[in-house]
Structure 1
Amino acid sequence: MPSRTNAAERAAIVQFGQELRRLRELSDMSQKQLGVQVGTSKQQVGAVERGIRKPSKRFAELADRALEAHGGLLNMWPGAKRTQPWWLEQFVELEAKARVISEFQPQAVPGLLQTEGYARVIVSSSFPPLAEEETERRLEGRLQRQQVLSRPDPPLALFVLDEGALRRPVGGKEVMKEQCLKLVEKAQLPHVQLQVLPFERGAHSAMNGPLVLLNMTHAESLVYAEAPGSGQVIMDAQVVADCHQRFGALRGLALSPAESLDFIASL
């Protein structure tokens, strides 16, 4: 593996290799057969799959074509310019296809509901600090994600916000005022339901952090879990079922949508 890559780049190389192997095996193709199609050896294909060799863009293009990935593999090429961190891109693609989005946030307003001013402060607060170009790229990606709620066939979006996310003065009074007004505006949409979980309700089932659930079909759901610098899509049926029950408990404990709007307006 290249010695001068940083941790994020190395992780992207490993992710590319894992996806390459998954697609190759789905296509019932050997490493040697794929190597012939992309103009390299079986050993080099294996090295890319194990994450010890960074693929060239040409390799990614030819492999994407050979495995009929329709751009999916090429988009994961480690050298691609990204508007989102590599570990968030899979989730963003799934989020755009979901029929129902259920999200609990204890610390910050959900990305789909953030104003540009609020989002800029959040992105700029990253540590280690981001370069200005990277900050703008991530901000652009975050705002692009919000189009999922304004398209002609939007998903049903259910949000529960902890009171702490509304009390924290991100960016100062004016930024928070604008943010609260946007929350009230978005909550008026027929496919958006917003609830506030007030401090006075005490302990709850998601004290350990945020919770994001995506219903892709009536029978298929998944959970997205995020930690500093990484994220993971979880499809284990038991984990998903437990998280659905947890989110249902949060909604039952939170203020009603009407009460929540009154609460936000009071801020």
Structure 2
Amino acid sequence: MEEEEDITSDLFTAVGEQIKVLRIRAGLTQREFGRLVGYTESQISSIERGVRVPQPDFLEKADKILNAGGLLLVVKKSIEKAQAKARVRHPGWFRGYAMLEAMAVQLYVYTNQLIPGLLQTEDYARAVFTQRRPLLSDEVIEKRVADRLARQQIFEPWPSPTFSFVLDESVLLRPVGGAAVHKEQLRKLLRVGRMRTVELQVMPLTREEQPSMDGPFTLVTPKGRRQVAYLEHQGYPRLITEEEEVRLLDIRYGIIRAQALTPRDTLALIEKMLGDA
């Protein structure tokens, strides 16, 4: 498995380097190229460094814009095969859940500790893994960051799953990685929160009632399967498949959503935080 992960990672890196060479040859900055293909500057940077997996439609657009002559189309099939493997490029204890998440048609996430992995920026994710104890090596940190960003491509297909995220307000106030990283993370929450398939809500600190003091949890419904729940505390994961336990967590999540700010009010709160930052 580790050998396959290295080969897959090397493929993404090689393709990213090819795209960078072609972009520079075309006289385009990352920002200019991003505008032409509908990506942000940071997304282009991630692709060129092999951190983000280039999607087939991106490769098709890039091949034309960069006058690659079919060079990027040749690797499209290899990327599609490698992308499936990338979904399980995670620590062994997390792979089972990662596979279910990749099959999700519905995903509900509640957290009161950190920004959920699916919503993290690259720098925020790197700060999280850098602060992990015991310390991780630089190589492991970069692999974990790449794997986390690869998971975020779940937002890109259409139709995509239906997403609901409820974040405790304390999570938005914690400047993980420093002020600049924190500000960019808030901007990303705004971008994702405005997606049609996403409902992003904040549980205000002023709420006197809080039905989930026990910690974060995720409810995921894989295609063609029953809903399951995932918990992780101090690095110890638990995948819950027992129907009654999942039902109780689903009820709890419904109460949390009802007590949280509406998606519109949540976006307004984040915009205010950005203004104050």
CA distance in structure 2 between the aligned counterparts of 1:217 and 1:244, rounded to whole angstroms: 18
Q: Is the 8 Å Cα contact of residues 87 and 232 (structure 1) preserved in structure 2?
A: no
Q: Is the 8 Å Cα contact of residues 83 and 140 (structure 1) preserved in structure 2?
A: no
Structure 1 residue 153 displacement after superposition: 2.8
State the AA in 1 paired with 2:191.
E
Q: Is the 8 Å Cα contact of residues 109 and 166 (structure 1) preserved in structure 2?
A: yes
Q: Is the 8 Å Cα contact of residues 220 and 229 (structure 2) preserved in structure 1?
A: yes
Residues matched between the structures, number: 187
Residue 230 of structure 1 corresponds to 236
CA deviation map 1:17-53 (0-9, x unaligned):
xxxxxxxxxxxxxxxxxxxxxxxxxxxxxxxxxxxxx
Structure 1 residue 217 displacement after superposition: 4.8
Residue 16 of structure 1 corresponds to none
In structure 2, stretches of 5+ residues that fail to align are 1-84
CA distance in structure 2 between the aligned counterparts of 1:142 and 1:218, rounded to whole angstroms: 25
Q: Percent identity?
A: 36
SS of 2:180's equivalent? helix
Structure with higher Rg: it is 1
Residue 201 of structure 1 corresponds to 207
Residue 103 of structure 2 corresponds to 97
Residue 146 of structure 1 corresponds to 152
1:52-91 map, 5 Å: 83-91=89-97
SS of 1:200's equivalent? coil
For the pair 1:119 / 2:136, whether they are aligned, the reply is no
Residue 72 of structure 2 corresponds to none
Residue 55 of structure 1 corresponds to none
Q: Is the 8 Å Cα contact of residues 156 and 192 (structure 1) preserved in structure 2?
A: yes
TM-score of the superposition, structure 1-length normalised? 0.68
Question: Could you list the runs of 4 or more consecutive aligned residues of structure 1 that deviate by over 4 angstroms after TM superposition?
Answer: none
Residue 171 of structure 1 corresponds to 177
Structure 1 residue 83 displacement after superposition: 3.6
CA deviation map 1:105-153 (0-9, x unaligned):
1011111111101111011111100011111111111010000011233
In structure 1, stretches of 5+ residues that fail to align are 1-74, 76-81
Residue 265 of structure 1 corresponds to 271
SS of 1:209's equivalent? coil
For the pair 1:130 / 2:126, whether they are aligned, the reply is no
SS of 1:109's equivalent? coil
TM-score of the superposition, structure 2-length normalised? 0.65
Structure 1 residue 192 displacement after superposition: 0.7
Q: Is the 8 Å Cα contact of residues 103 and 223 (structure 2) preserved in structure 1?
A: no
State the AA in 2 paired with 1:253.
Q
Structure 1 residue 173 displacement after superposition: 1.1
